């Protein structure tokens, strides 16, 4: 996850980026969002780094996003689909599987 965040920072140095975790690691999503907002973010794009749509994406994340919207009413939250649902990632994974 950190490598992806670092790549985003290289590709778009003016866009703040932070990793967050839903459980077992820190920072939590709430803490990462609070830091972004404290640093002036008015829009937060949430990119769920899951290969599938399991319980976290279906149940936990929507509840967390609602709490974030209530805690930061002036911030626009843009949740994306789980990365594993993106056709470009599916194509890349298939290419990796098929490469010699």
> Can you list the domains of the chain with their CATH numbers?
2-98 (3.40.50.1400)
Burial class (CB in 10 A: 0-12, 13-18, 19+), 20: buried
Question: Across-strand partners of 43?
Answer: 76
- What predicted TM-score, i.e. pTM, was given to this entire model? 0.87
Using one digit for the tens of pLDDT, what is the confidence trace for 29-72? 999 999 999 999 999 999 999 888 888 888 999 999 999 999 99
Beta bridge partners of 79: 46
Mean pLDDT score, 65-94: 95
């Amino acid at each position: 996850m950190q490598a992806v965040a670092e790549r985003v920072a290289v590709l778009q140095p003016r866009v703040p980026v932070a990793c967050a975790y839903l459980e077992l690691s820190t920072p939590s999503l709430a803490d990462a969002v609070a830091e972004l907002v404290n640093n002036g973010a008015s829009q937060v794009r949430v990119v769920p780094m899951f290969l599938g749509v399991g319980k976290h994406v279906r149940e936990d994340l929507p509840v967390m996003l609602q709490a974030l919207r209530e805690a930061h009413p002036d911030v626009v939250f843009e949740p994306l689909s789980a990365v594993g649902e993106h056709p470009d990632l599916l194509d890349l994974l298939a290419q990796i599987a098929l490469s010699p």
